[in-house]
Amino acid sequence: MINYKLFPDFFSFSGRIASVIILFIIIGCQTSPNKVSTGEHIVSDSTLIQINVDPDGEESYAFDSLIDDISYIKLETNDDCLIGNIHQILCSKDYIFIMDVFVANAVYCFDKQGHFVRRIGEIGQGPGEYTRLFKMCLTSDQKQIVLYDWKYLHYYDLNGKHIKDVTPDFDVYDIELGNEDFLAGFRASGIGDGDSQRRMLSVYDKDLKLIYKEFPTFYNKTFHLDDGMIPLRSFGNNIYINKPWTHSIYRIEKECCYERYRINIVNGGYPEIQDGMDGDTYLRIVGTKFCIRDYAILKDYALFYFSKNGVTWTPFVIYSHKTKKTYKCNGRYYNPLFFAHSPGNTPIVCYDKETFLIPQSATTVMRMKEQIYNSPLINDSKLMQLYDGLTEDSNPVLFLLHIKSI
């Protein structure tokens, strides 16, 4: 992994954040005396963070003034680990796991220097073999990796040794593991008996028995449309869900879930799904607005990307948990290495408490070669290692972006 310390600030920082103080009753989820029930298993509390975003506002910052360090990891390319499209990335203490669903239908394990280590599992019908991958998760102790193929939960240690296969009694297409005590599942069309009882989120105990369901499905006779995001996300030891077609992000716990972030976009945001509205009509309306596209929750920061007309909006927003301020990037950058900050279709990954990871295809990296070589801001001879042996057919490059202390 090659590091490049970048130049100092160009700009000073300021921001605004609105917080909400709600009520102090404990109902349902009995984890804190300042929580109040807003539904059978949904609670609100004073930790709700409201973030105001004005896409056209004047106050904004260049990328270079928000990110002070960028590094990269070149993933080894050989016939045993050819990656088509990255669907998901997981990082443990020693390894990086890459899941390619649509091309290789495989999970590859690399070390932190990008060397290929092993493949996890194989395609097939036998023990420890999967059919079509949907999701991978790490257990809370990061000693096992779980591959989900809709029919089974396949458990392996990080050396690739098969441990067990579990047949769940649920019908969801996305999962996340909490601690040892629970698992969260998601299905946009909902699970349950009868249309009025169908819920998108379901939470199960360690024996995979249903604990609760929440969030009525938005599916109806005319509307059958997903928002395209991976609903369930794990950051640290916490599970989050961006409720589809909203700008509310909830933290999921074993007995309840509560709204953690609410994004208020000036003249933007997902409109309400009206009765009788079909997906095409809704998409035409959404296409004219700025809407949340991806996010990552780090220890000290929360990072939010947005989109318009289905295209990721280059500027993004950083919220500082320490200063309780919001910083909007305007999309400009001076160091050409920052071309790598656009997340594309792969969810943003937390690499450590202040660093997020974004992959870029070798084709994209090669396209930037001349601009990077000609930049006066890059004079580190080790940069040559980025392009040493890299071709358009190489595996993707992982870029690590460290957020400045703000």
Long-range (24+ apart) CB contacts under 8 A made by 284-293 are 289/265, 290/53, 290/55, 290/265, 291/247, 291/265, 292/242, 292/247, 292/263, 292/265, 293/229, 293/343
Residue corresponding to tokens 């009753």: 25
Write down the mean pLDDT value for the chain: 85
Range of the domain at 296: 2-403
pLDDT grade for 369, boundaries at 50, 70 and 90:
confident
pTM > 0.95: yes or no: no
Confirm if 294 and 305 have CB atoms less than 8 A apart: yes
- Would you place residue 281 in the very low, low, confident or very high pLDDT band (cuts 50, 70, 90)? very high
State yes or no: pLDDT of 201 exceeds 90.
yes
Question: 121-130 — which CB contacts under 8 Å span 24+ positions?
Answer: 121/147, 121/154, 121/156, 121/160, 121/162, 127/162, 127/165, 128/154, 128/156, 128/162, 128/165, 129/154, 130/154
CATH at 375: 2.120.10.30
pLDDT of 25 reads: 29
**Res 288 pLDDT > 60:** yes
pLDDT in tens, 219-233: 888 898 887 778 899
CA–CA separation, 300 vs 302, rounded Å? 7
| 37 CB burial (10 A radius; 0-12, 13-18, 19+) | middle
E-strand ranges in 237-361 read: 238-242, 248-252, 257-265, 291-297, 301-308, 311-320, 326-328, 349-352, 355-360
The tens digit of pLDDT for each residue in 7-49 reads 333 333 333 333 332 333 233 454 444 444 445 888 877 789 9
Q: Provide the pLDDT for residue 148.
A: 97
DSSP label of 221: S
The closest of 171, 104, 173 to 134, measured between CA atoms, is 173
Question: Which is higher by pLDDT, 271 or 312?
Answer: 271
Indicate the number of domains in the chain.
1
Whole-angstrom distance, CA of residue 169 vs CA of residue 224: 24
CA distance 122 to 131: 9
pLDDT at 289: 86
Among residues 71, 62, 70, the alpha carbon closest in space to that of 9 is found at 62
Query: Which of 186, 170, 259, 175 minimizes the C-alpha distance to 226?
Result: 186
pLDDT the model gives residue 39: 56
Q: Which residue has the higher pLDDT, 357 or 287?
A: 357
pLDDT score recorded for residue 91: 96
Is residue 294 over pLDDT 50? yes
Question: Which band of pLDDT confidence, cut at 50, 70 and 90, is reported for residue 383?
Answer: low
Residue 70's nearest CA partner among 362, 339, 364 is 339
Mean pLDDT on 347-368 = 92
**In angstroms, what CA-CA distances link 13 with 236, 275, 326?**
27, 44, 9
Q: Give mean pLDDT, residues 250-279.
A: 92
Closest to 244 (Cα-Cα) out of 259, 265, 221, 226: 226
Q: Check pLDDT > 90 for residue 246.
A: yes
With 70 as the cut, is the pLDDT of residue 147 above it?
yes
Q: Give residue 185's pLDDT band: very low, low, confident or very high (50, 70, 90).
A: very high
Predicted pLDDT at 188: 93
Do the Cβ atoms of 327 and 320 come closer than 8 Å? yes
For the cut 80, the answer to whether the pLDDT of residue 388 exceeds it is yes
Please provide the distance, in angstroms rounded to a whole number, between the alpha carbons at the two ends of the chain: 25
Average pLDDT (161-169) is: 96
User: pLDDT: is 79 or 46 the higher one?
Assistant: 79
User: How far is residue 164 from each of residues 126, 132, 230, 325, measured CA to CA in Å?
Assistant: 12, 18, 26, 46
Average the pLDDT over 60-87 and give the result.
93
Residue 357: is its pLDDT beyond 80?
yes
